[in-house]
Amino acid sequence: MMLAYMTADIGSHHNRAWAITYDIAVGRDVLEGKARKVIELQHIRPAFDMLGVCRLPWVELDFDLAWYPRIIEAVSGHSPTWDELKLASERVWNLTRLFSMKHIPGFGRKDDLPPARLYEEPVPDGPTAGRLISREQVDALLDDYYALRGWDRDGHPTPEKLAQLGL
């Protein structure tokens, strides 16, 4: 979930990828596969924004994603596949990254890092008391995330990725 907060395109927010259920299912200490899951979720939720639909049916009611292209077809006559919708969402994700790079001097990896206290100060109480994530783990998550996104080490979309997306 931390990676989802770190890389949200609207600032640290759960709205872009609610990955905590995956964290619970696979375990807190497992890093493998977390970046891939966050990216998957980051492509689904913005697709809902583009469609102007609520996340509630999918998240809370287990509404099958396959219905969304069918609904679009019924309303508009256009029949996109879910893969086409995710690709459009990936374009949006990369465009918002480029927007930040253009308008925030030096924007990059440093802007995706959580506050240092999250890897310097253990959780004070509760079920995770005494735990923290290391800076090395944070960097490993970002490295994996950037590689899967087709971005460079500083979190910038590569020319190859932009060409692949037609941007």
Angstrom distance (rounded) from CA 110 to CA 154:
8
> Which domains does the chain possess?
2-164 (1.10.599.10)
Angstrom distance (rounded) from CA 114 to CA 18:
17
Q: Decide: residue 80, CB within 10 A, 0-12 exposed, 13-18 middle, 19+ buried.
A: middle
What's the whole-model pTM score? Answer: 0.88
Q: Report the chain's terminal Cα–Cα distance, integer Å.
A: 29
Residues in CB range of 134: below 8 A, 6 or more apart: 119
Cα 3 to Cα 16, 24, 37, 118, 123: the distances in Å are 11, 14, 10, 12, 17
pLDDT category of residue 128 using cuts at 50, 70 and 90? confident
Contact between 112 and 154 under an 8 Å Cβ cutoff? The reply is no
pLDDT category of residue 52 using cuts at 50, 70 and 90? confident
Q: pLDDT tens for residues 79-126?
A: 888 889 889 999 999 999 999 999 999 999 999 999 999 889 999 999
